[in-house]
Amino acid sequence: MTRPKAASCSPEALPRFRARRSQRPDRARPALLVALLVAALGIACAEERSALELAREAADDRDQARAIGLYQRHLEEFADDFEARLEYTLLLGEVWAFSGGDRAPILESLERLYEEQPDNLRVKELYAMMLVREGQAAASVRRFEDGERYYQQALEVHPDVGTPYYHLGVMYQDQGRTQAAFEVYIAAALKRPPIPDLYLRLGREYLERGDLDRAINTLQLVDELRGTSTYLLPAAHCALAEAFHERDDDDTAREHLLMGGEGCVVAGLS
The model's pLDDT over 193-246, given as tens digits with 9 standing for 90+, comes to: 999 999 999 999 999 999 999 999 999 999 999 886 789 999 999 999 999 999
Residue type, 58: A
> Looking at the predicted structure, is the pLDDT value of residue 165 above 50?
yes
8: DSSP letter: S
Contact status, residue 159 vs residue 137, Cβ threshold 8 Å: no
Percent over 70 (pLDDT), the chain: 82
| CA 227 to chain CA mean position, Å | 19
Amino acid making up residue 205: E
Query: At CB < 8 A and 24+ separation, what contacts does 151-158 make?
Result: 154/127, 154/128, 154/129, 155/128, 157/114, 157/124, 157/127, 157/128, 157/131, 158/124, 158/125, 158/127, 158/128
- The mean pLDDT of 67-72, rounded to a whole number, is 95
Contact 74, 50 (CB under 8 A): yes
Lowest-confidence range among 24-28, 53-57, 123-127, 231-235?
24-28
Average pLDDT value for residue range 20-27:
49
Res 84 pLDDT > 60: yes
Inform me whether the pLDDT recorded for 12 exceeds 80: no
Give residue-wise pLDDT tens across range 174-192. 999 999 999 999 999 999 9
- Whole-number mean pLDDT of the chain? 86
Please give the residue that has the higher pLDDT: either 26 or 168: 168
Segment among 8-17, 141-150, 195-204, 229-238 with least mean pLDDT: 8-17
pLDDT tens figures, 115-129: 999 999 999 999 999
Task: Go through the domains of the chain in sequence order and give each one's CATH number.
Answer: 196-270 (1.25.40)
pLDDT digits (tens, 9 = 90+) for 250-270: 999 999 999 999 899 999 988
Over residues 81-102, the mean pLDDT reads 92
pTM of the model: 0.77
Q: Which pLDDT score, from 0 to 100, does residue 7 have? A: 43
- pLDDT for 49 equals 82
Look at residue 19 in the predicted model and tell me its pLDDT: 46
pLDDT over threshold 60, residue 100? yes
Q: Exposed, middle or buried by CB within 10 Å (0-12, 13-18, 19+), for 190?
A: exposed
